[in-house]
């Protein structure tokens, strides 16, 4: 069983989701958001770092799946997002997690079947795929989607490897 921490980085709200994956199906562990106060960026980054460190210490994941930074319209927002992502990566590296990065398109494709799925579609599919009683908050759902994307890709890679081994024997 592999424990995966999914992170949806943000400079105001950083979503997290934790899944266990047995190679066949993902199992929900927990999710939530690290919310920061309206304070200077450096203080917000410290809060995000401490929050992720606490999550890693509490839930002991082996792998981190995180969304890659993308440039949409605002360069300043992309830079702040990059800073938040950076502290998440440092927190995970200090705890020796294996890091896997996915683009927003890869994540949406994996969860909704469309690379341009809406946030609402992602939220709904996370609820369905994990058999949750209610849809998680949007940033937490996005983090669970990152973890689910990683689990799907890891499962596919394991199946391909098993097929190769069968073909060789």
Catalytic residue, candidates 57, 67, 142, 161: 67
Is 6:16 a contact under the CB 8 Å cutoff?
yes
Q: Any catalytic annotation for residue 142? A: no
Catalytic residue, candidates 8, 22, 57, 62: 8
CB atoms within 10 A of CB 165: 9
Is 126:136 a contact under the CB 8 Å cutoff?
yes
Phi, psi of 24 (to 5 degrees): -115, -50
Catalytic residue, candidates 22, 101, 139, 161: 139
* 13-21 β-sheet, strand order: 26-35, 13-21, 2-8, 63-67, 98-102
Q: Any catalytic annotation for residue 38? A: no
Among 105, 94, 104, 97, smallest CA distance to 9 is for 104
Burial of 144 (0-12, 13-18, 19+ CB in 10 A): buried
3-state secondary structure of 7: strand
Q: Any catalytic annotation for residue 67? A: yes
Residues tagged active-site = 8, 67, 139
């Amino acid at each position: 069983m592999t424990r995966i921490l999914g992170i949806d980085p943000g400079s105001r709200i950083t979503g997290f989701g934790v899944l266990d994956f047995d190679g066949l199906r993902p199992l929900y562990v927990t999710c939530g958001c690290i919310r920061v106060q309206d304070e200077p960026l450096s203080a917000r980054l410290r809060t995000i770092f401490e929050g992720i460190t606490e999550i890693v210490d509490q839930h002991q994941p082996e792998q981190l799946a995180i969304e890659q930074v993308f440039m949409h319209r605002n360069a300043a927002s992309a830079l702040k997002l990059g800073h938040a992502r950076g502290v998440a990566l440092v927190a995970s590296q200090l705890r020796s997690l294996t890091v896997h990065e996915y683009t927003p398109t890869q994540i949406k494709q994996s969860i909704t079947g469309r690379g341009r799925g809406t946030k609402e579609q992602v939220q709904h599919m996370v609820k369905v795929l994990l058999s949750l009683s209610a849809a998680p908050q949007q940033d937490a759902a996005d983090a669970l989607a990152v973890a689910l994307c990683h689990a799907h890709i890891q499962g596919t890679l394991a199946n391909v490897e098993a097929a190769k081994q069968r073909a060789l024997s």
